[in-house]
Chain A
Amino acid sequence: MNTLQKKLSVAGACVASMLSAQAFADYSVAIAGPMTGAYASAGEQIKRGAEMAVADINAKGGVNGQKLKLEIGDDACDPKQAVSVANAMVNKKIVFMHGHWCSSSTIPASDIYNEAQIPMATVSTNPQVTERGLKNIFRIMGRDDQQGGVAGAYVAKRFAGQKVAVLDDKSAYGKGLADETAKGMQAKGMKPALRESITAGEKDYSGIVSKMKAAGVQVLVYGGYHTEVALILRQAQQAGMKLMVMGGDTLSNNEIVTAAGGNADSVLFTFAPDSRANPAAADVVKRFRAAKVEPDGYVLYAYAAMQLFQQAATTAKSVKYNDLRKALAGGSFNTVVGKMSFDAKGDLKVPAFVVYQWKGNKYEAVK
């Protein structure tokens, strides 16, 4: 080896050691979701919540003496992009992932995190998320079969004797939820008058609206995201229909109020109990509002996911996969959205769903 080569290799080793020293100085935690694309407003909620949580944790000295560094991945709710985001995150050596958001993104991405031994906490509600026996995944929200059961029973009771159509948007989340809600209705002896699927991302739903009108449908059970259901509501109003909608957690997005053009008050949806009223969340809620962010929808869930990591890593005194996973699986955590503990599949032990209705630009629980 000549001197030049020696010098170079020494220099290289120095650089490498500096780089790795820097890379391990912080804990990299990550969020992933639709930061762009049609559902980007949900991604924004997740980002706001996680950023505030990381800032708060760092202000209190970080986790195990290490500061947290937040990585943000954008999957645009596209399963293919979700996989490449997951690979990029693995390369960035993250120790914890909050995401993804769309079930159809979470499912393929979770295989990659599982292989790379990265624990994750998600709000995706499709049952398949935790039904595949992956050990690294924890769901901090209920499942669609629970959500659909609550929604189905509610529809069967409140709208007894009326004609109900069940629609979905063909997504993993939407179709799963619509199927489960229909099952819940049937368990209470109510049969859907129509069962159809629509294509998400379009603007014109007048075809299906006229079909519902001809069938005399009064209630729509919708599995899917808020953008499409808002358009259906507008077009139904134009067609002279009075349509009530029952949907899932994604309809908690306040974008629906403006998008539905004054029809949002007829939207019901199931969501976890409103954590903004939690005493534990009071301080955080106040600071979100001071920063002009209304902590609705997924904001507090993103915050809670980071708290989950902080508490588990503190108990485990490590962020190694096995220690962290064991702490997450066995522990009980106090978060801004309430107490959390997980069953063997990684689902919440005590999930709860409440039926809400939009009133003006707020939603309220209904009996």
Chain B
Amino acid sequence: MGQFIQQLINGLTLGSVYGLIALGYTMVYGIIGMINFAHGDIYMVAAIISVTVITLLAALGISAVPLALMVTLLVVMAFTAVYGWSVERVAYRPLRTAPRLAPLISAIGMSIFLQNMVQLTQGARVKPIADMMPGQFNLFTFDGFTVFLSYTQLMIIVVTVVLLAIFTYIITRTSFGRQQRACEQDQTMTALLGVNVDRTISLTFMLGAALAAIAGVMVTIYYGVVDFAIGFVAGLKAFTAAVLGGIGSLPGAVLGGLIIGMLESFWSAYYSPEYKDVAGFALLILVLMFRPSGLLGRPEVEKV
């Protein structure tokens, strides 16, 4: 029982991390129908920048956690948004009218480029930070097993829920969200109606990158170590989460992330950690067999 609750908490946290990254995938897919495979590496870049910022703040003597956290988030989001914008400008915009496979390949190229750039400029070694938010709530003890919820875990879960709410609001209620949805349906028509399509897409990429930045900061604080290779696995899992939940749907991304996180956590607890990825991907296949557009996705309507 104790372990069950603990694994639930572990799964929720891990799932929230996947969900946070998956939100970025789904936003970009929602507007240009393209999988931004460099998203995982944008998240890695964010995590590396956050190590620099956190170390710098500690050196400057800023030790109040809420202040340090806010400053870190803002700085990392700003830098990462620039990355998101540049990636779109360099790798995707020139290919917007090209066949669908072309931007996919350039996305993979971008991913390899970012990964190697960070490795060469920052070195291959792992970068650790000191525990920024030590401490935890010891919830209860059952059969000698103390169930805990650390402050960082709580923060990650809360941040994910809040961001999901904010971004759902932006897309469904603001004029920017309307422009985004218009771009998704028909870019030419949207442009004719006086919407700056390039600007809307650029902004979406910057928002997606900002989401990756938040995920990067959270993960840096939670796991305490970061290296240039973390983007690949995380990106793959988040992409799976986005597809599972229905790519293009924001709540779907978080739901998919949570399902995969919990599945991994319970599977490694009660069966074997060896086969947890098999379980995750088997579930993905099952869901796609019965709901090809994912749990919360809308089937694509062919426009005639």
Write the residues of chain A forming the contact surface with B, with a CB cutoff of 8 angstroms: 36-38, 40-41, 43-44, 170, 196-199, 201-204, 206-208, 210-211, 213-214, 216, 227, 230-231, 234-235, 238-240, 255, 258-259, 261
Contact = CB atoms under 8 A, between A and B. Distances in A.
Contact of B10 (A206, A227, A230): A206
Contact of A238 (B17, B150, B234, B268): B150
B276 interface: yes
B273 A198 contact: yes
B106 interface: no
Interface in B261-278: 264-269, 272-274, 276-277
A208 B227 contact: no
B223 A204 contact: yes
Contacts of B136: 238
A83 B247 CA distance: 37
Interface of B: 2-3, 6-7, 10-11, 13-14, 17, 116, 119, 124-126, 128, 130-131, 136, 144-146, 148, 150, 219, 223-225, 227, 229-230, 232-234, 264-269, 272-274, 276-277
A239 B230 CA distance: 23
A171 to B, nearest CB: 13
What is the predominant secondary structure among interface residues of chain B facing chain A?
helix
A198 B274 CA distance: 5
Contacts, number: 110
B229 A201 contact: yes
A289 B165 CA distance: 55
Contact of A207 (B7, B148, B229): B7
Given A37-B124, A201-B229, A234-B224, A196 B272 contact: yes
Contact of A199 (B116, B269, B276): B276
Contacts of B128: 258-259, 261
9 contacts: A41-B124, A196-B273, A197-B273, A203-B230, A207-B265, A207-B273, A210-B7, A214-B6, A231-B223
Contacts of B131: 261
B148 A240 contact: yes
A214 B145 contact: yes
Nearest to B128: A258
Nearest to B11: A207
A258 B55 CA distance: 14
Given A202-B233, A238-B150, A240-B146, A207 B10 contact: yes
Given A196-B273, A227-B225, A227-B227, 16 more contacts: A36-B119, A37-B124, A203-B225, A204-B10, A206-B13, A207-B269, A207-B276, A211-B269, A214-B269, A230-B126, A230-B225, A239-B148, A240-B148, A255-B125, A258-B126, A261-B131
